[in-house]
């Protein structure tokens, strides 16, 4: 297969690296996305980087993880919000293959992060893994037998839209929702997620209460997933889940409150361990699997 140039496109930064056919990361670095320049510019800039890499070493393909709803067959952005203007409809696979002359595969960033955890990370010994990312929003993906399960229209795992007792999972359980509620309670527009957790650990009541509420919301969502899918493991990732020591027991307690032990006993709750390499490693694994079918 040869070396793969892997990219993880986010709204603020793009991480990229070169990965060998054995999964060894030769190097990885970040550069600013410059999202304001639009989706087409971002992909053309990516192509320029690939072409420079190809002058220095053998690159046989391009693997991309990206924000937005992706059609992985076409390698196209089906929908993206305006964090990256004009990204919706961008035919990433077509642009890269025409510019660089080598194969390209594209997948959603949450799916890539989940695939990395299921293949290389904390879920590597599991058959069915559900990954949930909690940050600005709430995203998810389902990995079965080391393959991404897309569903009929490619929307499987969009758990942020799941209805719960208080609304939907994203509007109530995301880190941005937590920050919004605390700001309203204490009338302080400067507070952020990190400060909320620091204050909670120091005993600040509004911060403690709102984190407890977030865990209640996420616990119900995880319980619903366990009832429907009965996975071997649920992996929690995203920025807020770096607070593992503070959150783990609270979330486990709320999950067990919503479903009986008989439905939970075979499902482990774990926290993501791939961290910054999750996007590029998931993109790499997705590239391998899709190219193997051709």
pLDDT in tens, 43-81: 999 999 999 999 999 999 999 999 888 999 999 999 888
pLDDT digits (tens, 9 = 90+) for 203-236: 999 999 999 999 999 999 999 999 999 999 999 9
Structure pTM? 0.91
3-state DSSP call for residue 292? helix
Looking at residue 82, its pLDDT comes to 81
How many angstroms separate the Cα of 272 from the Cα of each of 161, 199, 215? 22, 24, 17
Question: What value does the mean pLDDT take over residues 85-95?
Answer: 96
pLDDT of 111 higher than 90: yes
Looking at residue 294, its pLDDT comes to 77
Looking at residue 136, its pLDDT comes to 84
**Domains recognised in the chain with CATH numbers:** 4-108+276-292 (3.30.420.40), 122-273 (3.30.420.40)
Average pLDDT across the chain, whole number:
94
pLDDT bin (cut points 50, 70, 90) of residue 14 is: very high
pLDDT of 191 higher than 80: yes
Query: Percent of the chain, pLDDT > 70?
Result: 100
Q: Beta strands of the chain (E only): which ranges? A: 4-9, 13-19, 25-32, 61-66, 69-71, 76-79, 104-108, 128-134, 138-144, 147-149, 163-164, 167-168, 233-237, 268-271
What distance in Å separates the CA atoms of residue 209 and residue 204, rounded to the nearest whole number? 9
pLDDT of 280 higher than 90: yes
Looking at residue 204, its pLDDT comes to 95
pLDDT of 255 higher than 90: yes
pLDDT digits (tens, 9 = 90+) for 239-249: 899 999 999 99
Looking at residue 209, its pLDDT comes to 97
Looking at residue 200, its pLDDT comes to 96
Q: How many CB atoms lie within 10 A of CB 32?
A: 8
pLDDT digits (tens, 9 = 90+) for 130-166: 999 998 889 999 999 999 999 988 889 989 999 988 7
Are the CB atoms for 241 and 247 separated by under 8 Å? yes
∠ at Cα 215 (210, 216), nearest 5°?
Answer: 95
């Amino acid at each position: 297969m040869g070396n793969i140039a892997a990219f993880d496109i986010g709204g603020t930064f793009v991480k990229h690296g070169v990965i060998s056919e054995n999964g060894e990361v030769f190097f990885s670095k970040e550069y600013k996305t410059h999202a304001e320049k639009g989706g087409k510019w971002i992909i053309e800039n990516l192509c320029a980087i690939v072409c420079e890499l190809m002058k220095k070493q053998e690159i046989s393909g391009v693997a991309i993880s990206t924000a937005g709803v992706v059609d992985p067959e076409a390698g196209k952005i089906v929908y993206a919000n305006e964090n990256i203007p004009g990204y919706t409809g961008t035919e990433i696979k077509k642009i890269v293959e025409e510019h660089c002359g080598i194969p390209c595969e594209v997948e959603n960033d949450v799916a890539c992060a989940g695939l990395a955890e299921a293949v290389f990370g904390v879920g590597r010994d599991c058959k069915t893994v559900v990954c949930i990312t909690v940050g600005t929003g709430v995203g998810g993906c389902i990995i079965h037998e080391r393959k991404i399960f897309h569903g009929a229209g490619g929307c499987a795992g969009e758990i942020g839209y799941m209805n719960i007792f208080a609304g939907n999972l994203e509007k109530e359980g995301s880190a941005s929702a937590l920050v919004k509620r605390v700001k309203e309670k204490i009338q302080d527009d400067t507070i952020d997620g990190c400060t909320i957790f620091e204050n909670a650990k120091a005993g600040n009541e509004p911060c403690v209460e709102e984190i407890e509420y977030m865990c209640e919301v996420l616990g119900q969502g995880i319980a619903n997933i366990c009832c429907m899918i009965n996975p071997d493991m649920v992996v929690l990732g995203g920025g807020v889940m770096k607070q593992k020591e503070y959150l783990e027991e609270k979330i486990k307690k709320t999950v067990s409150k919503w479903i009986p032990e008989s439905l939970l006993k075979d499902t482990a709750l774990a926290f993501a361990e791939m961290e910054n390499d999750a996007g590029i490693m998931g993109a790499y694994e997705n590239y391998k699997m899709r190219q193997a079918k051709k």
